[in-house]
Amino acid sequence: MPGLPAQVDRTRYLGSVQLRFSPRWSGRARPTHEAVAARRIAELTASRREIVAAYEIERRRIERDLHDGAQQRLVVGLMKLGEAQLSPAVTADPALAALLAEAKSAIAGGLESLRTTVRGIHPQVLTDLGLEAALTDAVDRVDRTGRTIRIVCPHPLPTMPEGVLAAAYFFALEAMTNALKHAPGAEITILLTVDKTLRVCVVDTGPGGACLQPGRGLAGMRERLAAFGGELLLSSPPGGPTQVAAHLPLLLARGESGTGIDRVDSTGATTGAEGQET
C-alpha cells in the first residue's frame, strides 16, 4: 500500500523512544506518590525552618537595638536626674525636688517595662548562659509572688541551635504562665532532659481538665515546635496533675516531616474539648 513503509518506520521510531525512556529500560523507576509527597514535605519543613530562623534573627536584632539604644538612653536619663536631685537648687526647693522625684520614678518604670519587653523578645541570658539559666532567671522573677516553682535538670544540657533554645524557652514560659493562671496555689515543676531529643515538661498539681484551643496559648506554640520537627504533648485528667511537654529532636533525620503533631493521652482532654484553655 502506498505510504506504508513510512508509517512502519514512524511506528518503529516511536516504539524505540518509548523503550528508551521506559523505567524498565532506563534503569530509573518513576517516582511514586509516596516519594513525591516525602520530597515535598522535606522541602516544606526546610522552608519552615528557614522562616523561623529568619524570625529569630529579626527578634535578636530588635532586642539588641532596644538594649543598646532606648534602654541605655533611659539609664543615662536616670543618672542625670539623680545628679540633679543632689544639687543645692533642688534640695532648697521642695516643689522642684518632688517634681524631679516624680520624673525619675516615671523613667524608672518605663525602663523596667522596656527590660520586660526585651526579655520577652529574646532574653540575653538565654544566649549567654543557656536554657536552664534563662528559665531560672524567669522563675526568680515569678517567685516574688510566693509561688512554688522548681526547675529540675538532672544533666548538663549540650550546646543547641539558637532557634531550638528559643522555642524551648518560650514554650516553658507559656506553659508556666498558663499554670499560674489556671492552677492558683499549685506547685509547678519544669523538667529538662535531653538525649537525642530535648524534652521540656511543665507539670502542675492543679485540678486538671486543660485542653488545647486552636490559635490560643500553647496551641500557638505547636507551629513553632513543628518547624524543628518537634511536637507538643498534653495530659490533664480531671483532678490533675496537668503535664505539658515539648519534644524537640536535636538530630533530625534528613527529610523528616516535622509535622508537630500534638498528643493527648486517653485520660486527659482532647483538642477542642471543654475545659480550661491552655
pLDDT digits (tens, 9 = 90+) for 160-169: 888 888 889 9
The structure's pTM equals 0.61
Decide: 158 and 194 in contact? Cβ < 8 Å: yes
Reply yes or no on whether the pLDDT at 18 is more than 70. Answer: no
| pLDDT per position as a tens digit, 208-239 | 888 877 766 777 788 778 878 889 999 989 98
Let me know if domain 130-277 sits in CATH 3.30.565.10: yes
The tens digit of pLDDT for each residue in 184-207 reads 888 999 999 999 899 999 999 989
Task: Determine the Cα–Cα distance for residues 251 and 258; give it in Å rounded to an integer.
Answer: 12
Give the residue extent of every domain in the chain. Answer: 33-121, 130-277
Instruction: List the one residue out of 75, 166, 66 whose CA is nearest residue 125.
Output: 166
Terminal Cα distance for the chain, rounded: 82
* Stretch among 83-97, 123-137, 189-203, 244-258 having the lowest mean pLDDT: 244-258
Q: Would you state the pLDDT for residue 259?
A: 38
- Give the whole-number percent of the chain exceeding pLDDT 90: 20
What is the model's pLDDT at position 169?
A: 93
Report whether pLDDT(91) > 60. yes
pLDDT band at 80 (very low <50, low <70, confident <90, very high): confident
> Which pLDDT does position 28 carry in this prediction?
55
List of long-range contacts for 144-148, beta carbons under 8 Å, 24+ apart: 147/180, 147/188, 148/187, 148/188
CA dist 174 and 182 (Å) reads: 12
Question: Is residue 211 within 8 Å of 173, Cβ to Cβ?
Answer: no
